[in-house]
Structures are given as structure tokens and as C-alpha cells.
């Protein structure tokens, strides 16, 4: 999310799901929840980027990047400890 400008956070969960999602139900569960969250906040980041010309877009874009990075780190720590993490503020698009 941080390196791809607020709109690319969905790439890593998608790669994880495609690479190991069929082999491990745990990896699939974690990657699907991460993918839903990152797609949601990537859309918010794109909306922020598109509305930068009216000023409010800078705040929306910054919020999308910060939320994506912070909750991504929290979820990574939880996954490392073997816990399932349910992201707040995520729309469930992929099941």
C-alpha cells in the first residue's frame, strides 16, 4: 500500500491467494480478508487521488494510505501469531 501509492495494496494478498490459496485453507482465509480490505482502501485512495484538485483529496488519499499500512501491519502480526484478523472498515467483495 505504501510503496504503490495507496492504490496497490491488493497486489500482495492476490499473489498469496493465487500461489498458496488452494494448498492451505489458512492462507486462503488470511489472503481473502486482506484482499477485501486492500481493495476497499485502494478504491478510497483512487477517489482521494481523483479529488485532489478540490483540496479534500489530499486528506482522503493520506487517510487511505495510513489506514491501509497500519491495519496491514496489525494483521501481519496477528497472522504471524496464528490468529485470524478481521479488518475493520472492509467491504466483503471476495468470498
Kindly state whether residue 17 falls inside one of the protein's structural domains: yes
Kindly state whether residue 6 falls inside one of the protein's structural domains: no
The pTM of this model reads 0.76
The range of the structural domain enclosing residue 41 comes to 11-80
Taking only Cα atoms into account, the Rg of the chain, rounded to an integer number of angstroms, comes to 14
Looking at the structure of the chain, the number of domains it has is: 1
- Kindly report, residue by residue over 29-49, the tens digit of the pLDDT: 888 888 898 888 888 888 888
Kindly state whether residue 64 falls inside one of the protein's structural domains: yes
Kindly state whether residue 28 falls inside one of the protein's structural domains: yes
Kindly state whether residue 92 falls inside one of the protein's structural domains: no
Kindly state whether residue 53 falls inside one of the protein's structural domains: yes
Q: What is the pLDDT of residue 4?
A: 58
- Kindly report, residue by residue over 74-89, the tens digit of the pLDDT: 988 998 898 888 888 8
Here the cell at position 53 is: 484538485
Round to whole Å and give the CA distance between 11 and 82.
22
Q: What is the pLDDT of residue 77?
A: 92
Amino acid at each position: 500500500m505504501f510503496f504503490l501509492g495507496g492504490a496497490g495494496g491488493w497486489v500482495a494478498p492476490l499473489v498469496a491467494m493465487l500461489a498458496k490459496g488452494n494448498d492451505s485453507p489458512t492462507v486462503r482465509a488470511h489472503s481473502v480478508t486482506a484482499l477485501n480490505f486492500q481493495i476497499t482502501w485502494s478504491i478510497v485512495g483512487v477517489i482521494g487521488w481523483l479529488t485532489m484538485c478540490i483540496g479534500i483529496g489530499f486528506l482522503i488519499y493520506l487517510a487511505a494510505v495510513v489506514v491501509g499500512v497500519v491495519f496491514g501491519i496489525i494483521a501481519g502480526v496477528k497472522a504471524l501469531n496464528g490468529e485470524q484478523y478481521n479488518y475493520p472498515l472492509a467491504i466483503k467483495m471476495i468470498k
